[in-house]
Amino acid sequence: MSAVDRVAEPAAAGPAEPVLSEHLDNGVAVVTLNRPERMNAWGGGLARAFYRCIDRAEADPGVRVIVLTGNGRAFCAGADMGDLDTISGAAQPSGSQGADAGSGPQGTDVTQLVGERHPHFVTQLRTPVIAAINGACAGIGLTQALMCDIRFASAGAKFTTAFARRGLIGEYGISWILPRVVGWGAAQDLLLSGRTFFAEEARELGMVKDVLAPDELMPRVLAYADDMARNCAPSSLAVIKRQLYGDAVRNVHHASADAEKLMHESMLRPDFIEGITAFFEKRTPNFPPLKEETP
């Protein structure tokens, strides 16, 4: 079966669900934000369903790569403004109506919108996550896309941080991840101006790996994910991903010392023997699935 042939699991969500999940037989899971009538805005139960689908993919030993995309003309156009109205009503100064409706300062409870996890939780998964940005990508949608490990985009897709133009701040780690993805100067431009930019500029900035025609986006991303699932050891992917995000906050001496230890451990795993053997035999490696981590 090719990378673009999708096989839904028996328990896959129905069309009314805010997030859809498909586990393909090649080791790729496709998670689709599914509120097209709201441009996949973050709200309306989407967060809870998203966490559930991601957790199920991460726990499935048959899944080696996760692809995240959106249904319709948007990837995720930011926070659902209807939900924001509800939250802002709970953010009145002390003594006014709704002041004790939330749990944060002045009664604000943004967890009603974002959910119980911050977007950076996907950086802590052992499974690589690839974003197929099929359309508008703004606010928390952009933050979530940036926390994915690799990004592709549809030609003409619009991007914006938007926060400064809404009286908000750089939320949930975007001020940490954006400079690491596009550089300090570009991050300052995009965060402080809040301007709209397109997929083509995102590619020039290094935010996305490639820009493709809309009908070519998913086939390209699924082929890329298929190649990774077939040829990369899940144990190596898990460790390299942990290195990337862990070393981002350490100096080179600590990173190098840790890499030496991790390299020694990797050479003791059967994955190493299989990788070398497959290379010399000129065949696709047959790497075993990840084992469950012990506490």
CB 152, CB 224: distance < 8 Å: yes
Structure tokens at 203: 């590619």
Domain residue spans of the chain: 19-80+115-228, 232-281
- Helical packing angle, 174-182 and 184-193, nearest 10°: 130
Q: Which CATH number fits domain 232-281: 1.10.12, 1.10.3470, 3.40.1620, 1.25.40?
A: 1.10.12
CB 152, CB 86: distance < 8 Å: no
Hey, which residues does 76 pair with through a beta bridge? 137
Neighbours of 277 (CB within 10 A): 12
What string of DSSP letters covers 52-104? HHHHHHHH-TT--EEEEEESSSEEE-SB-HHHHHHHHHT-PPTTSTTTTSSSS
Per-residue pLDDT, 83: 53
- The pLDDT tens digits of the residues spanning 16-38 come to 799 999 999 999 999 999 999 99
Q: What letter would DSSP give residue 73?
A: S
Q: Is the pTM of this model over 0.85?
A: no
- The pLDDT tens digits of the residues spanning 88-143 come to 443 343 333 332 323 444 444 555 666 678 888 899 999 999 999 999 999 999 99
Residue 168: what residue type? L
Sequential pLDDT tens for the chain (295 residues): 333 334 344 344 445 799 999 999 999 999 999 999 999 998 868 889 999 999 999 999 999 999 999 999 999 998 876 655 544 443 343 333 332 323 444 444 555 666 678 888 899 999 999 999 999 999 999 999 999 999 999 999 999 998 887 777 788 889 889 999 999 999 999 999 999 999 999 999 999 999 999 999 999 999 999 999 999 999 999 999 998 888 887 665 566 666 666 666 766 777 667 766 776 788 887 777 877 764 4
Per-residue pLDDT, 172: 82
Where does 19-80+115-228 sit in CATH, by number?
3.90.226.10
Distances (CA, A) of 267 to 41, 202, 213, 235: 45, 38, 41, 11
Phi, psi of 158 (to 5 degrees): -95, 140
Query: Could you give the angle at the alpha carbon of 55 between the alpha carbons of 229 and 77, nearest 5°?
Result: 90
User: Nearest Cα to 179, choosing from 193, 168, 191?
Assistant: 191
- Helical packing angle, 140-147 and 174-182, nearest 10°: 60
